[in-house]
């Protein structure tokens, strides 16, 4: 999976929120095979006041890459300031950019998103924007300097899977050379496989793993699903048909009068 100037073997990215304990989180990340984990600077910085810097040490010990995100930001100013703080704290110019526009669906504010992406790209950030599957918004984000797009599958934490397969398929067809990551709403490994079979480059998820009865086992299941979906896409799956088609040829077979 190619993200800006780096290549990763794993196509699965994992969030770090909601786990019942740091040990469970570590086990899940290890089982997932993920090389990138997302971290909410605002949430974890608040937690550090109570728990100390242990969270950051837990992540660093795994040898994975940080992708700070601007989760919880509802304005351009909030998102840009949070990204700047993350760069200072973590020493990375990568950021998963979120500008939330609706409190119930957590749908991105695409107008603010494009503006924040333009500002941060101008400051040298490598921006991975959490967006919708809208083609016009995608064009604007690419023009703003983004080289990766992260359209939602469905609302964050909903577990609904791919709500708009047509839109996601259209986005993939319109931008064949852009790295596309399905982000949010994936609740089952089959949802991840579905996204990969559409030709997406990767998936990012959190709640489906963190809230499972056995997060490590679920993370392993998602790992296999992503690998299977990508392999199926590269192998070239059959298109659905309206009518039956025999798999056994009738030519040369005996015909009884």
Asked if residue 233 lies in contact with residue 199, where contact means CB atoms within 8 angstroms, the answer is yes
Which residue, 91, 12, 23, 34, is CA-closest to 58?
23
Binding site residues, as ranges?
A: 157, 184-185, 206-207
Catalytic residue at 96? yes
Residue 239 DSSP symbol: P
Which residue among the candidates 11, 87, 96, 230 is catalytic per the annotation? Answer: 96
Name beta bridge partners: 213.
Answer: none
Q: Give the Cα-Cα-Cα angle 131, 38, 16 (nearest 5 degrees).
A: 120
Return d(Cα 22, Cα 28) in angstroms, integer: 10
Looking up tokens 């924040």 gives 116
Binding site residues for 1-deoxy-D-xylulose 5-phosphate, as ranges?
A: 157, 184-185, 206-207
Q: 3-class SS at 97?
A: strand
Looking up tokens 């992540």 gives 59
Which whole-number Å values give the CA distances from 246 to 135, 177, 240, 256, in the listed order? 39, 37, 14, 19
Name the CA radius of gyration of the chain, rounded. Answer: 20
Q: How many Å from the N-terminal Cα to the C-terminal Cα in the chain?
A: 59
Question: In the chain, which residue ranges form alpha helices assigned H by DSSP?
Answer: 22-32, 41-51, 54-60, 76-90, 110-122, 135-143, 165-174, 189-197, 207-210, 215-235
Give catalytic residue positions.
Answer: 96
């Amino acid at each position: 999976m190619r993200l800006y100037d780096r290549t990763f073997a794993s196509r699965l990215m994992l969030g770090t929120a909601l786990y019942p304990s740091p040990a469970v989180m570590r086990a899940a990340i290890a089982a997932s095979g993920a090389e990138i984990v997302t971290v909410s600077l605002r949430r974890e910085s608040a937690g550090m006041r109570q728990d100390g810097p242990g969270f950051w040490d837990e992540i660093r010990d795994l040898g994975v890459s940080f992708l700070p995100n601007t989760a919880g930001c509802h304005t351009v100013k909030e998102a840009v300031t949070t990204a700047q703080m993350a760069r200072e704290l973590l020493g990375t110019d990568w950021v998963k950019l979120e500008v939330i526009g609706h409190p119930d669906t957590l749908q991105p504010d695409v107008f603010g998103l494009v503006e924040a992406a333009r500002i941060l790209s101008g400051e040298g950030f490598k921006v991975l924007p959490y967006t919708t599957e809208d083609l016009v918004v995608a064009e604007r984000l690419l023009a703003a300097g983004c080289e990766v797009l992260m359209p939602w599958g469905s609302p964050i934490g909903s577990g609904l899977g791919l709500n708009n397969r047509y839109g996601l398929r259209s986005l993939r067809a319109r931008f064949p050379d852009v790295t596309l990551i399905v982000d949010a709403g994936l609740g089952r490994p089959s949802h991840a496989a579905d996204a990969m079979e559409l030709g997406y480059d990767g998936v990012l998820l959190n709640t489906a793993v963190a809230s499972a009865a056995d997060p490590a086992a679920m993370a392993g299941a998602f790992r296999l699903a992503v690998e299977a979906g990508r392999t199926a896409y590269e192998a070239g799956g059959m298109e659905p048909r309206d009518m039956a088609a025999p798999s056994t040829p009738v030519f040369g077979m005996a015909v009884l009068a």
